[in-house]
Amino acid sequence: MSNQYSTPDLPYPYDALEPNIDKETMKIHHDKHHVKYTSKLNEAINKHSEFFDTPPDKLLQNLDVIPQDIRDAVRNHGGGHVNHSLFWEIMSPDGGGEPGGILAEALTNEFGSVDEFRNKYEKTAANLFGSGWAWLVISKNGKLEITQTQNQDTPLSFGKKPLLLLDLWEHSYYLKYQNKRPEYIKAWWNVVNWDAIQKSYQDFQKI
């Protein structure tokens, strides 16, 4: 018997986010990078059948109970699997524009305005050294917070709820943007799926 987490299909065609994110990047990113994270996670979990039924989010929320011999693999490849699964969902060919409703209100309360939120998020993303992610999360006290992580680390491991995330590994932008990470960040706003983020924010308020 073995455990098989699976890589979800992209919720849109490879070229759907053009011209902001190019088809070739999406194809390699999903079919090679994400698939590899998932298969490496499976390889690790298959050494410990007690985790076969654990949803991958739960593994990352409780890294301290993961056996030492697979903890780094779960953190890195499990993080890679979970982060990318969410990343595909928070983008859409119908994305861009402005957040609305209670999410816009909450962003304004926390950061002064939606524009100020965007500026601060862009700075955090641009300033991340090396590979990692920029995040908008709900912190433990229920406040919105901008944060960054290295490698495939996720705020889930620190008790936070991710809403929005941006992949800042060069594999996510180098074919089209080369060293111009700030241009990639600017273009990415055009595909951000605010409806999905709003929904996950609302769902969290109901808990």
Contacts to Mn ion by CB under 5 A: 167, 169, 172
Minimum CB distance to Mn ion, residue 169 (Å): 5
Of 169 and 174, which has the nearer Cβ to Mn ion?
169
Minimum CB distance to Mn ion, residue 145 (Å): 22
Query: Phi and psi at residue 115, in whole multiples of 5°?
Result: -60, -40
Residue nearest to Mn ion (CB): 167
Of 110 and 170, which has the nearer Cβ to Mn ion?
170
Q: Can you tell me which residue has the tokens 């699976």?
A: 6
Q: Where are the alpha helices (DSSP H) in the chain?
A: 23-28, 35-45, 56-61, 68-73, 79-89, 101-111, 114-127, 174-177, 181-188, 194-206
Of 26 and 197, which has the nearer Cβ to Mn ion?
26
Minimum CB distance to Mn ion, residue 110 (Å): 27
Q: What angle do CA 125, 127, 129 make, to 5 degrees?
A: 105
Of 172 and 198, which has the nearer Cβ to Mn ion?
172
